[in-house]
């Protein structure tokens, strides 16, 4: 379980294809200085398991399914990714409940300054937008963000300066794919209502 509060960014330093059609991903970050094998880390919001941790770097095994259902298949050497370790019972819950199980990918329609603020418009499939409400939560590449407005084909978010500084958003451009995870409580509510 995660909170959607990105703790660090990491740089992709290796992408090695495996015989099974997956990829061994290696990321460099100071976040990994105290990480043990088997630890769960959200990488762009996708829950991955650490293998072979080294000082300031960690390796993750990506299956073919993960590569096709998330934007991790679009990574290149030098790409910056958002990182968050799994939440501990003593950690503050500052964002919202994020499982690290990506629901779908969206596409950035617009990303940039709009007056004095920064605006992010994302095109999302109906499987995502059905769970969105204005002022509700969504995880975008692992960032817990607030939906400001629903659009005909997606949603709009306004980004505060702190989020811009501590995430990989500065590297993003229109057309990029982003990982989306909708609010877990909305999905449970829908299932409960369908049974009643």
Residue 154, φ and ψ in degrees, nearest 5: 175, -135
pLDDT given for residue 12 in this prediction: 99
pLDDT at 165 (0 to 100): 95
Calpha distance 44→108 (Å, rounded): 15
- Confidence bin at 182 (pLDDT 50/70/90): very high
**Cα(134)–Cα(114) distance, rounded to whole angstroms?**
19
Q: What percent of the chain has pLDDT over 70?
A: 100
Task: pLDDT band for 54, please (50, 70, 90 cuts).
Answer: confident
Indicate the DSSP class of residue 22.
-
Average per-residue pLDDT in the chain?
Answer: 94
pLDDT at 194 over 90: no
- Please state, as a whole number, how many other Cβ atoms lie within 10 Å of the Cβ of residue 165: 9
pLDDT single digits (tens) 19-43: 889 999 999 999 998 899 999 999 9
**Contact (CB, 8 A) for 121 and 151:** yes
Nearest to residue 7, comparing CAs of 37, 38, 40? Answer: 40
Q: 67-76, 87-96, 162-171: which range is least confident on average?
A: 87-96
d(CA 100, CA 181): 8
For the beta carbon of residue 12, count every other beta carbon within 10 angstroms: 18
Rg of the chain over all Cα atoms, to the nearest angstrom: 17
Q: Are 68 and 23 in contact (CB under 8 A)?
A: no
Q: What is the pLDDT of residue 126?
A: 95
pLDDT at 148 over 90: yes
Which domains are delineated in the chain? Answer: 8-85 (2.40.30.20), 104-195 (2.40.30.20)
Kindly report which listed range (156-160, 163-167, 190-194) carries the lowest average pLDDT score: 190-194
Q: CA-CA distances (angstroms) from residue 99 to 74, 117, 169? A: 21, 29, 21
How many CB atoms sit inside 10 A of residue 119's CB? 16
- Rounded to a whole number of angstroms, the distance between the first and last alpha carbons of the chain is 28
pLDDT given at position 90? 80
Report pLDDT digits (tens) over 78-136: 999 999 999 888 877 778 889 999 999 999 999 999 998 999 999 999 999 999 999 99
Report d(CA 41, CA 47) in Å as an integer: 6
SS3 breakdown of the chain: % helix, strand, coil, rounded to 5? Answer: 20, 45, 35
Longest dimension (CA), the chain: 52
């Amino acid at each position: 379980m995660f909170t959607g509060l990105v703790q660090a960014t990491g740089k992709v330093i290796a992408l090695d294809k495996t015989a099974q059609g997956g990829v061994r991903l290696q990321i460099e970050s100071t976040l990994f200085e105290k990480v043990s094998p088997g630890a769960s880390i959200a990488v762009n919001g996708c829950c991955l398991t650490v293998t072979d941790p080294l000082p300031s770097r960690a390796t993750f095994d990506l299956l073919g399914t993960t590569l096709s259902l998330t934007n991790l298949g679009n990574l290149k050497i030098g790409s910056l990714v958002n990182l968050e370790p799994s939440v501990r019972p003593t950690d503050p819950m500052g964002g919202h409940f994020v499982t690290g199980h990506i629901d779908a990918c969206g596409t950035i329609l617009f990303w940039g300054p709009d007056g004095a603020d920064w605006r992010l418009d994302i095109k999302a499939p109906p499987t995502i937008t059905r769970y969105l409400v204005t002022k509700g939560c969504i995880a975008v590449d692992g960032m817990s963000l607030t939906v400001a407005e629903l659009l005909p084909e997606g949603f709009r978010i306004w980004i505060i300066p702190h989020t811009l500084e501590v995430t990989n958003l500065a590297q993003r451009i229109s057309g990029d794919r982003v990982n989306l995870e909708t609010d877990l409580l909305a999905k449970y509510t829908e299932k409960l209502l369908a049974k009643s």
